[in-house]
Amino acid sequence: MRAFISAVYLFLYAPIALVVLFSFNAGRNASEFTGFSTMWYGKALGNTFLVAALQNSLIIALTSATLAAIFGTMAALGMERLRPRSRALLDGLFAAAIVVPGVVIGIATLVALVEVFSFLNSVLASVWPDENPPQLGLGYGSIVAAHGLFSMALVTMIVKARIASLGRDIVEASGDLYATPLTTFRLVVLPQILPSVLAGFLLSFTFSFDDFIIAFFVAGSKTTLPIYVFASIRRGVTPEINAIATLVLVASLMMILIARILMREKKPTN
């Protein structure tokens, strides 16, 4: 069993270690290590197209994760007040949104946005005072909408599980002490579900930042970091791509560490 587990971990993490190793390659061949150098990190950070794609990914990920955390938490709180049949129906819909393949979500979102933009553009053209009305199209908004709606299902399921474990006792006790619903949520419910909300936010951020399939369909003229990397490796894998992957890996590990620190329970002091 130990040998099997070791083989599984080796299979999972050995390729990542090779990517990190070859990001310090002095040569241009990504599969032949000729010497130690950090020049590819400088070239990656000095690549204006890469920096622009990274900025786009960060903006989109932060925006979609924030919206998903807010509306996903609201949906989880609202579902607790529904009847069992209605709650079961919504549970099934949220679960279906998670398991549907990304290709299907990307195509469906693209078709829906094209139809909506076509209708809105015709309305703007009819009411706009001059001959050059603004044209709505794919871009930041479409990616944020696609990622936010999908991530909202993740946040809802995570927060809902946490709410179900709390019970109604503390909420009813707060009401017995004449606390308003807003005060009960702010002082009683929110501190209890905050770790789950934070976990949902981080999961949503990670999904949005790493997503390629959905963003590829709805990005329009915008380029995110996964789209840039995909376009780059079609011309061949270079140590610069390895450097980009290493930087993303380090950033992800730092995010996980920060989340662990924030969600760590404080020990009571005497």
Burial label, 238 (beta-carbon count in 10 A; 0-12, 13-18, 19+): buried
Number of helices (H) and strands (E) in the chain: give both, helices first: 12, 0
Mean pLDDT by 10 residues, the chain (270 residues): 85 85 77 77 84 89 92 86 81 81 86 87 81 80 87 87 75 70 77 84 86 87 86 77 84 74 51
Question: How far is the C-alpha of 119 from the C-alpha of 142, rounded, in Å?
Answer: 15
pLDDT of residue 267: 45
Question: And the tokens for 170?
Answer: 């503390």
Of 51, 220, 48, the closest CA to residue 137 belongs to 220
Say if residues 142 and 127 touch (Cβ distance below 8 Å). Answer: no
The predicted model scores a pTM of 0.80
CA distances from 220 to 114, 148, 161 (A): 11, 17, 36
What are the residue boundaries of the structural domains of the chain, listed by start?
A: 50-263
Question: How far is the C-alpha of 218 from the C-alpha of 203, rounded, in Å?
Answer: 21
- Give the homologous superfamily in CATH for domain 50-263: MetI-like (1.10.3720.10)
DSSP state of 35: -
